[in-house]
Structure 1
């Protein structure tokens, strides 16, 4: 069941610095609000594979300050990455999912779709004789 009550569809999480997520259920969709402060749109990737929606965010930053002789006064580096995966179901396609990034929050809308029951195919065996 997509976004089950027990774990809200969380498949795995390797978080090293954030990505708090709120999941809201509406009549026709689920909405995920993922907090990604300090990230830019180009730092974020969303992928749908085998019914799992995976959000990846990676950011690297270097701040170098030198004095007038070229010696470092301060040198800071920041590197952060986080990832979350949610089971959204096999009936969902890439085109169904809408995403918008604004003010450090990634909003993702996933429509509710009923899983299509698999139709058993009859495969006839040729009988020789």
Structure 2
């Protein structure tokens, strides 16, 4: 019985030692990477939504934006390469290739014909005009 108790007492130690052992190298890519998702700022005025999405290091041709009613999807191909050398000897080389995406819904449908997207220094700016609600027209019955 004591044997079982002693082994149970050591398990948390081994859990801490090996916890994330095979996952940690992915975190070496850097804190500014997109593996954790696309960060957004959303602002609203009477006529439109303005969205700023952080996409550091992503070329504008690698970004896709889709608008369907009030649903907005942003996706991007992410390519990161890092190499550290000491003279001619490579000490470390890391590569990350992948796709990130973020989908969200807005309270009002978007007028796709007036929507714009610009990428500048790692920030995607979307201006999404609100679709005007169809006005009610009263008909006179003859």
Q: TM-score range by the shorter chain?
A: 0.5 to 0.7
Q: Gaps (5+ residues) in structure 2?
A: 1-33, 136-142
Q: Which one has a bigger Cα radius of gyration?
A: 2
Instruction: Quote the residue 1:92 is aligned against.
Output: 110
Q: Gaps (5+ residues) in structure 1?
A: 1-14, 118-129
**2:100 is matched with which residue: 77, 82, 89?**
82
TM-score (norm 2): 0.56
CA distance in 2, matches of 1:87, 1:44: 19
CA distance in 2, matches of 1:102, 1:114: 29
CA deviation digits over 1:1-59, x for unaligned, max 9?
A: xxxxxxxxxxxxxx733321111111211100111112121221111235422000121
CA distance in 2, matches of 1:46, 1:23: 15
| The 10-residue stretch of structure 1 (57-66 or 72-81) with the greater mean CA deviation from structure 2 | 57-66
TM-score (norm 1): 0.61
**1:108 is matched with which residue: 126, 132, 137?**
126
| Greater helix fraction, Structure 1 or Structure 2 | 2
State how many pairs are aligned.
Answer: 102
